[in-house]
Amino acid sequence: MDENNLIKMELTVNGEAVSMIVKGGRRLLDFLRDDLHLTGTKEGCGEGECGSCTVHLDGQSVLACLTPMERAIGCSVLTIEGVGSPTNLHPVQAALLDEGGVQCGMCTPGMVMSALDLLERNPDPTIEEIIEGISGNLCRCTGYKKIIYGIQQAAQELQAASPAGTVKESVE
């Protein structure tokens, strides 16, 4: 063991290979923000309650504030920086803007990551399913309705855009 607990972080972040020697023994959230400067992932409560730090680890939504950074070695991490771009927003991001689902913005990255996780599993969610899908994400500005409508709108757009046959069976 190195005196300073230096470790090699080798993983994929937002589709790009990362390999760097950094201080270990921290949270995935600290690695993303402090070492990679991916500050879109927010620290809200820091105790797994608010969902602001939601990222995808090997395709599953997790809380970066409760994930030891070494857990991500060899894995694929998706953060909000890997979703759309300022000039080419992901439909979920665009719909949140359209519906007024963004105010202070603190919860938005986590909200988008949870919405993506939901829509991947369930492309045609009911309102109840959307509420359940984002129930691990707190927003203190919007009252949630505009976020829920935004996700519903994005689901409809993504459904309309996806080629026939790839859409999950809808309820009759």
Partner 1 sequence: MLYRKYEVAQTLPEALSLLSSHNGAVVRPVAGGTDLILQLHERILSADVLVDISRVPELRGIRLENGQLVIGAATTYTEISRSDLVLKNAFVLAEASKKIGAVQIQNMATLGGNIGNASPAADAIPGLYALQADVVVCGPNAERRIPITEFHQGYRKIDLNPGELIKEIRFAIPAEGTGTAFYKYALRKSQAISVVDAAVCVQLSDGVIKHATVALGAVAPTIIRSPAAESVLIGEPPSEDLFDRAAEAACQDARPIDDIRGSAAFRKYLVGVCTSHAVRSACERAA
Task: Give the footprint of partner 1 on this chain (CB under 8 A).
Answer: 1, 5, 7, 23-27, 46-49, 51, 54, 60-63, 65-68, 70-71, 73, 114, 117-118, 132-133, 135-138
CA distance 72 to 154: 29
Question: Is the CB of 35 or the CB of 70 nearer to partner 1?
Answer: 70
CB of 35 to partner 1, least distance (A): 14
CA distance 99 to 113: 17
CB of 164 to partner 1, least distance (A): 27
H or E element in which residue 55 lies: strand 54-57
Question: Is the CB of 16 or the CB of 128 nearer to partner 1?
Answer: 128
Question: Is the CB of 24 or the CB of 101 nearer to partner 1?
Answer: 24
Residues 6+ apart with CB under 8 A from 64: 27, 28, 29, 32, 41, 53, 54, 55
Question: Is the CB of 13 or the CB of 72 nearer to partner 1?
Answer: 72
Residue 88 tokens, joined: 């080419």
